[in-house]
Amino acid sequence: MPIALTQSSYGKSDIRLVKVTRRPDVHNVCDLTIDVGLEGDFAKAHTAGDNTGLLATDTMRNTVYALAQAEPIDNIEPFAVRLVEHFAGASPMVTRARVSIVEHSWTRLEADGSPHPHAFQRGNGGNRVAMAYGNSVDVRVEAGIDDLLVLRTTGSGWEGYVNDRYTSLPETSDRILATAISTRWTYGAPPEDFGQAWHQVRRVILEAFGDHYSPSVQFTLHRMGKAVLEARPEIERIHFSLPNIHHLLYDLERFGLDNDNEIFQATTEPYGLIEGTIERTRDPVPIAANGPAAAAAPQT
């Protein structure tokens, strides 16, 4: 039976880039982790040790820093697209490039009640994510959020599920719901302002997380996704990955103490993982005996 290399790719991961944009009265910080990957005809490197036409991963790292110096990074999505366009044309052997970027947010501190011009603290809830993939002609863009920690102390339950001989979890109509939201969405067309779009999606997700009674993480996942698609018509689909960060009511009865949904044990593992994709669907055109055109014709 013949043996063949059927797929290969390579790139540079965890490129840490911090860019300080210095203006006379204020500094801005852009803190990124970037992954670059290339796909193409790299078979000879694997099977014959022939590196002709390969771009060194060290060169990929250097290119990221050089392009970051040459161009503004007001939003990470256009920067990801710029990197894809460059790497897709870096060698004739490359057929597709992909770039993913995680932005680690820094919040400006205050000085005498006003924003400090050059002092920051890390984080404001969730990391901004962008990914671009394609070639020098056609590039697709995704955006997203990682590690957006959210929690509700009530308004959530888990009832009506299968109870068999191995079930130990009691049903409840009042529990803590906590998760670390990880989400990716795909643009059918680029928004006018990537930054404004990202912040609105984040705001819509947070509002939808807390605006209803949640019978399950699944129900809340769908509600958040539906709200995003209704708010942003240029988004085609959105995917969520929601780990259920369990908060278990701790048994204090053995110590003669009451516990009226006040004392919980937070656990990290094992955990439930709920994932789903919500996307726009279009009703299929009905096919009649005489073809689509006949089906679409008005009936008299």
Residues labelled catalytic: 12, 57, 246
Q: Which two tokens stand for residue 30?
A: 């852009």
DSSP codes, 201-232 = HHHHHHHHHHSS-BS-HHHHHHHHHHHHHHH-
Residue 40, strand partner residues:
94
Pairing of strands 27-40, 94-103: antiparallel
Distance between start and end Cα atoms, the chain: 63
Residue 226, strand partner residues:
none
Contacts of 294 (CB under 8 A, 6+ apart): 288
Phi–psi pair at 33, nearest 5 degrees: -120, 125
Q: How far is CA 267 from CA 121, 162, 250, 277, in A?
A: 28, 23, 12, 26
